[in-house]
Amino acid sequence: MKDNFSVQSAAYAQFRPTYPQELYEFLFSLVPEKNTAWDCATGNGQVAKILAEDFKQVFATDISENQLKHATQKENITYLLESSDKSSFPGHTFDLITVAQAIHWFNFDGFYAEVKRTLKPRGIFAAFGYGVMRITEPVDAVVHQLYKDILGGYWDEERKYIDEGYLSIPFPFQEFYVPAFTIKTSWNFDQLIGYLNTWSALQHYKKANSTSPLTALLPELEIAWGTGDKEVNFPILLRVGQ
């Protein structure tokens, strides 16, 4: 698994969007018991802290020590520095295993072997994430220019799984039908820039060119944005199985 987010882990914790409660309620409705959950590639613990509200014990793992330093602390969350395909958990431990906005980086075979080994017989596995946000047509046009035209060659190959809505990832589980969910939030212009700076491709670009692509694009983005806050919508990608 790649670690593309240690460098900007503080910004990641500040600017990345949060998943709606409706998504968690749907997942929890499928889980027969709420004793133990594993949030793999937990990052800053965004998902783990929600799981901890309903599950007795939550284990959250990540390969980034820096990300874990910024993670939300709760008494019933145990954070571990571990790879997705080499966990230290006993077999048949978890009622729910989640991985949010990260499975596209994984060694699928290795991780799925761990899921099947550690999931209880009736346990649920959920992989979810989000695609490119939609704001307004003028802003979306400039963001698309950044995403495709400027950063197109700087995205890791695995980004294709997000562009394909997670539908092309291997999924060797008995799959559930899932409804459509959307992350809805409100941003000011600075929050947009803060979020764009968390893109891994933008960090790759800065490293390769010693400058940010946002510098030249900023005036165009500002004109497209206009004034005030804007509603932001992220389409949620979701695969759930047993």
Q: Architecture of domain 9-241 in CATH?
A: 3-Layer(aba) Sandwich (3.40)
Q: List, for residues 91-118, the tens digit of each pLDDT value.
A: 999 999 999 999 999 999 999 999 999 9
* Predicted local distance difference test score (pLDDT) of residue 14: 76
Reference 147, options 158, 167, 160, 132; nearest CA is 132
Nearest to 222 by CA among 133, 142, 146: 142
Interior angle at CA 199, CA 197 and CA 205, nearest 5: 85
Q: How many Cβ atoms from other residues are within 10 Å of residue 25's Cβ?
A: 10
Confidence of residue 5 (pLDDT cuts 50, 70, 90): very low
Q: Is residue 241 pLDDT above 60, yes or no?
A: yes
The domain locations on the chain are 9-241
> Are residues 200 and 92 in contact, defined by beta-carbon separation less than 8 angstroms?
no
pTM recorded for the entire structure: 0.89
